Amino acid sequence: MIEAHPTFKDNRGSFTPIDCKDWEQVNISVNDKRFTFRGMHYQTSPPQTKFIKVVKGSIIDILYNLETQESSFYILDEDDALLVDKKFAHGFLTLEPNTIVSYLVKGAYNPSSEHTIYWKDIPRVKKEILNLCGDDSITISAKDDQPFDSENTEISPETAKEKSLRLACEAFFEGDDESLKSTKCTWIRNMVEIAKSIVS
């Protein structure tokens, strides 16, 4: 998945060519601090494909497969890029201060179907991030640091239906260890959201 995509440097600074002709949106993320985390994000209607390019600095790029619940990690620097298929939730953690990340998006932005998976609900993601920086060192938005899947950019309390689904999941998987139970319940919630977007 990682592609060679050089950033050219000389005495003036750097230059990064990016071909945008096949993409609908170009985003630039400027991150002042080391250990800034953004994720885990995905959209259901329409789902989005992303092309991640580090312009300055370095990151650990994190993918979570919504179909298999598997996590993948890639270290990207200024000479790397990563294509992210629409079946993944995506996030990244900066490894240097003043890191700049550009990402191209295919699939029109739809705020009513964007979602955030709480990073601590994915055991491997939680383990990798805490091993690197711990809770105290991480810079994260309030939206990304909430223990539920939030729709739009608003943070809302757990609804009665969501609570019922969570309790049903926990009862169904009683006997599993907590990390496995959390992963399975997150997967079920994601599948319910995807099914709702298909029907609607």
150-180 per-position pLDDT tens digit: 444 343 444 555 555 656 666 666 666 656 6
Class of residue 143 by CB neighbours under 10 A (exposed 0-12, middle 13-18, buried 19+): middle
Give the pLDDT score at 172: 62
The reported pLDDT for the residue numbered 131 is: 93
Whole-number pLDDT of residue 20: 72
Contact indicator for 118, 187 with CB cutoff of 8 Å: no
What's the pLDDT at 48? 95
Model pLDDT, residue 147: 77
In the chain, where the domains are located:
2-155
2-155 belongs to CATH 3.30.70.100 = no
**Spatial contact of 120 and 126, defined as CB atoms under 8 Å apart:** yes
CA pair distance 45, 200, nearest whole angstrom: 10
pLDDT digits (tens, 9 = 90+) for 21-49: 788 888 889 999 999 999 999 999 999 99
Global pTM value: 0.69
Parts of the chain with a pLDDT under 50:
149-158
